[in-house]
Amino acid sequence: MNNADLADTLAASHGLTKADARKAVDSLFAAIADAAAKGEEVSINGFGKFKVKQSAAREGRNPSTGATIQIAASKKLGFSSAKALKDKING
């Protein structure tokens, strides 16, 4: 499922035009991305949490040459599913 499929589902279930539903889906993901860029946690009840995690700098190896390289510190967006979602998936 992609953004267009989500928009189609939203339009069908709420009587919206596909264009309006696509704007709503895009706005939702933009809001999540903006909050993550600020380092905020996004918690959606019954679905899960999006949380920014810090990854420390470390040494790695270039797989083709075997040479040691330095991997820079970075931030990653993690997702933890809520119990209700886990139950639905495993139910």
Question: pLDDT of 27-61, one tens digit each?
Answer: 999 999 999 999 999 999 999 999 999 999 999 99
Beta strands 68-71; 42-44: pairing state: unpaired
3-state secondary structure 38-70: CCCCEEECCCEEEEEEEECCEEEECCCCCCEEE
Clarify whether residues 48 and 72 are in a common domain.
yes
The helix-helix angle for 18-37 and 3-14 (nearest 10°) equals 120
Q: How confident is the model at residue 91 (pLDDT cuts 50, 70, 90)?
A: confident
Closest CA to 52 of 32, 25, 72, 70: 32
Domain that holds residue 69: 41-91
Question: pLDDT of 74-88, one tens digit each?
Answer: 999 999 999 999 999
CATH number at residue 61: 4.10.520.10
Clarify whether residues 54 and 22 are in a common domain.
no
